[in-house]
A and B are shown apart, each in its own frame.
Chain A
Amino acid sequence: MKANPAKNVRLREQEQARSTGEARRFWHTQRFKTNMPLWLMFLPVIAFYLVFKYAPMAGLVIAFKNYTFYEGIWGSQWVGFDNFQMLFTQSQSLQIIRNTLLLSVLSVVIAFPFPIMLAIMLNEVRRKWFQKTVQTLVYLPHFFSWVIVGGLVVTLFAQTGIVNVLLERLTGQSFAFLFHEASWVAIFLGSGIWKDAGFSAIIYLAALTSIDPSLYEAASIDGAGKWKQIRHITLPGIAPTIVIMLILAMGRVMEVGFDQVYVLQNSIVSGISEVISTYIYAIGLQGGQFSLTAALGLFESLVAFVLVLLTNAVARRFGKGLW
């Protein structure tokens, strides 16, 4: 909806430029005057993307080659889709792709709302010291590497771990959380949320600052309860941010973080815990499979790209797409 007026302006200007039949007039339009400094500003950005993002992308051709150091990227032999065929004909390929999608989609769907809830909850805290303390504490886990966090999680949920000790005291029975697929997935998601929700909440906290406090006062006077205020003022206020974050999250769908899976996974739940990145790691240990890894990476990118396109198309309907 919002995009339309802009489009109209552009059309009108172009029309104007054309109708006068004199292109030079166009160079004097307000739009051009605005664009000059913007483009000046943007030039280094373009240079950056061309040099550091697009130039290396040429290296993706090795997915269709048999890359060796000796022959280099350009000299290596073309092999067509052999690398892809090799990947998708392994017996576990389908299962691994399914696991990757399952874990990542669950991560997005389940984990996504937590930072938002956290930010809203923090926003509702009246005591500044409490707010600041909790805010800093929940931001903390982001800084511990998965090696450390994984170790702690595995220790906590082991059959002799503290969680089971408590459980046994309450119910008289222990449960092998790490050995059952459902509970393992729950632990996987939970630890991801625990680690990153506080950090991601910062963005929403920033977004919350743009909401006019007087809106709440007005709503309060009208007798709207907390839930109503959150639903009708807070959430709409940060909706644009939520949409952007969702699209960006889609772009990361296929990268179920290697470290997290690697430290948490175990053989008993391998049916669910083996994902693309751990698979690449295992292959990589053989060494030198650059082309194979590149092919797998390209596949991941394609899936993520489709998801981003779709999400963005939906978001555009509400006038909030990335492009």
Chain B
Amino acid sequence: MTRKRLSAVRSAAQARKAVYAALAVTFALTTAGCNGGGNATNAEGGAGTSASGESRGSITVSLYDRGTVPSSEGTMDNNRWTKWVNENGPVNVKYVTVPRFESLQKFNVLFASRQAPDLIFEYDTAYQGQLYNQKQLLPLDDLIAQHSTEYKAMLDKYPALKKAGMMEDGKTYLVGRAMALAPQHYLLIRKDWLDKLGLDVPTTPEEFLAVAEAFTQQDPDGDGQANTEGTGLSFVAGIILNNMYGTGFTLFGEDQIPWVLENDQVVHDWDRIRASIAFQQQLYDAGVADKDFVTDKNGEKQKQTWISGKLGIYGSNGADVGSYEALKQNVPDAEVIAIALPTTEFGSYSPTLSSPVQMTGMVNAAAKDPEAVMSMIDFMVSDEYTNTIQNGIEGVNYELTPDGRAKAIDPEKNKTELEYNRDMSMLTPLIGKNYGLKNKVDPTPAEQDYIKIYDEAVKAYMDPSRPMVGITQRAYLPLLPQNLATLNTNANKTILDMAMQTIVGGGGPAAVDQFIADAQAIWDKAGGAQVDEFYANWYAEHKDDAILMDDIYEMGEQMKQDE
């Protein structure tokens, strides 16, 4: 009966909801006066579990919809897991689904029409900053201090979470999670090709070029045809080739970050860009890469070449077991290893690592019941929630192994009944025994192979003496003010295009020098000095309280110990 009533209320129009909320508040106020009123409210709101017997709040929470819920399971906003949350959580939650691939537009119209949900989840850090600038977010410091238990404990455990959650005004606006610091980009090489041609793993740009040439010219796959490519040059491979020279000004992806630290000062670097473009030009001229790499914007073509067994050096995004499996199916003898980036005159670097903390959640400044929202945040980081959303129900979806890991009872069943709920876990810490390839119970042979690759990558990349490039990871850089952001995007886009033209256009070192001169002129003319100054000032002011590279590696260490 109550359940029916509840769902009727849920589906009612906006106006009725407001009336209901008002009624609920009045009801709560009147009953708060008399003893035993708490029980009555609980009955009204459904199964309440809040220990103190306070009235059960109602909130709205955003949830990505990727169209992946099988019809037998209901819909993203109404399925066994959303029901589970409402039955076991501290508040009534109405989920507002947001299409994953138009999420910003959807949030925009919701905010503009003041219908945005109370608790908002969005990965895009630039958008988080925008909501802050637009004054749509609620400062959370007092709320956390007074009403939070679980999330507060999390902040105490990972101080970086607190740092990362703060905006310019020094208040906390974002909630997030800890993630294991792990390799994100991998430089993979065909070990079987190296062995066959009697080559060593390349450790310098010269060796890299030599290996790529050998891979292209000496028929490493032995099919008698000149159909192999030495190295990828697009997307992740391209990003890695820039990283290897110590620059974050990459030609693929959306972040062109040329700033580096020199003598504890932020400078706009051009030498590293020059060197890395010169090297890529050399690779291109040598014919060891895809001639059309420029058009391979998201690395799809490179990936296909790799999977079909015709590519020697590949830049992989994440622990991509699927591609590895497909490669092994095409070329059963293929042997893949992850290698360190070759050392250049600028030092030794690692490719992009995943970020150790990730901020994903915000509270709407217009939220009617912030305390109820906080209790939901607490619930979302509790063991009960994270465990259930990730592994399902014990005895139904999983059983515990002797060492306490979750083992799926029927992986096929979980695929339909469980996996669509992944976006409900945007506050679930991605560390510990239930996370990652390494902790998987009964890994497949391909997964076992990949765990080896992962371990190599950890050894080669997660080492502060071979750091990531730049001042800090992108997520911890301050957001540029709007006019500077526009200027920066425009100028960098033009420079990026010129860099590509230089790589493809040939012309040797002279052309590269010309490119750098032109790029500098464009940067100056656009007023790029303001951007340089912005970052320099920010660093000077915040180098103590910002999250910098050292902090990131430190957090990585801490999380490793926690595991």
List chain A positions with a Cβ less than 8 A from chain B. Answer: 68-70, 72, 86, 90-92, 154, 158-160, 176, 178-179, 266-268, 270-271, 274, 282-283, 285-290, 292
| A91 / chain B contacts, CB cutoff of 8 Å | 490-491, 494, 522, 525-526
A282 to chain B, nearest CB (A): 5
B128 to chain A, nearest CB (A): 9
| A292 / chain B contacts, CB cutoff of 8 Å | 486
Q: Mark B135-165, 1 if CB is under 8 A from A, else 0.
A: 1100000000000000000000000000000
- Indicate if the CB atoms of A288 and B486 lie closer than 8 Å: no
B111 at the interface (CB under 8 A from A): yes
B210 to chain A, nearest CB (A): 24
A92 to B494: give the CA distance in the assembly, Å: 8
- Indicate if the CB atoms of A283 and B504 lie closer than 8 Å: no
From DSSP, what is the main secondary structure of chain A's interface residues? loop
**Considering residues A274, A282, A286, which has the most beta carbons from chain B within 10 angstroms of its beta carbon?**
A286
- Indicate if the CB atoms of A86 and B501 lie closer than 8 Å: no
* Residue of chain A at shortest CB distance from B493: A282
| B129 / chain A contacts, CB cutoff of 8 Å | 287
- Indicate if the CB atoms of A90 and B490 lie closer than 8 Å: yes
- Indicate if the CB atoms of A86 and B490 lie closer than 8 Å: no
| B501 / chain A contacts, CB cutoff of 8 Å | 267-268
- Indicate if the CB atoms of B497 and A270 lie closer than 8 Å: yes
A69 to B130: give the CA distance in the assembly, Å: 10
A247 to B46: give the CA distance in the assembly, Å: 61
Given known contacts A176-B291, A267-B496, A282-B493, A68 and B135 CB-to-CB distance under 8 angstroms: yes
27 A-B residue pairs with CB within 8 Å: A68-B134, A68-B135, A69-B111, A69-B112, A70-B136, A86-B483, A86-B486, A90-B486, A90-B490, A92-B490, A178-B294, A266-B297, A266-B500, A268-B497, A268-B500, A268-B504, A282-B493, A283-B486, A285-B126, A285-B254, A286-B485, A286-B486, A287-B129, A288-B130, A288-B133, A288-B482, A290-B108
Cβ-defined partner of B497 (8 Å) among A179, A267, A285: A267
| A289 / chain B contacts, CB cutoff of 8 Å | 482, 486
Cβ-defined partner of A286 (8 Å) among B136, B482, B497, B499: B482
List chain B positions with a Cβ less than 8 A from chain A. Answer: 104, 108, 111-112, 124, 126-127, 129-130, 133-136, 251, 254, 290-292, 294-295, 297, 480, 482-483, 485-487, 489-491, 493-494, 496-497, 499-501, 504, 522, 525-526
| A274 / chain B contacts, CB cutoff of 8 Å | 493
13 additional contacts, CB 8 Å, given A158-B295, A287-B124, A288-B134? A90-B486, A90-B526, A92-B494, A154-B295, A160-B290, A267-B496, A270-B494, A283-B486, A287-B126, A287-B129, A287-B130, A288-B130, A292-B486
* Residue of chain B at shortest CB distance from A87: B486
A90 to B251: give the CA distance in the assembly, Å: 21
| A270 / chain B contacts, CB cutoff of 8 Å | 493-494, 497
| B494 / chain A contacts, CB cutoff of 8 Å | 91-92, 270
B230 to chain A, nearest CB (A): 15
| A290 / chain B contacts, CB cutoff of 8 Å | 108
A264 to chain B, nearest CB (A): 9
A288 to B499: give the CA distance in the assembly, Å: 29
* Residue of chain A at shortest CB distance from B104: A287
| A268 / chain B contacts, CB cutoff of 8 Å | 294, 497, 500-501, 504
- Indicate if the CB atoms of A159 and B490 lie closer than 8 Å: no
* Residue of chain A at shortest CB distance from B105: A284
Q: Which 9 A-B pairs have the closest CB atoms?
A: A267-B500, A288-B130, A270-B497, A287-B130, A70-B135, A267-B497, A159-B291, A286-B485, A158-B292
A152 to chain B, nearest CB (A): 12
A79 to B425: give the CA distance in the assembly, Å: 42
| B251 / chain A contacts, CB cutoff of 8 Å | 267
| A176 / chain B contacts, CB cutoff of 8 Å | 291-292
A178 to B129: give the CA distance in the assembly, Å: 37
A274 to B501: give the CA distance in the assembly, Å: 15
A73 to chain B, nearest CB (A): 8
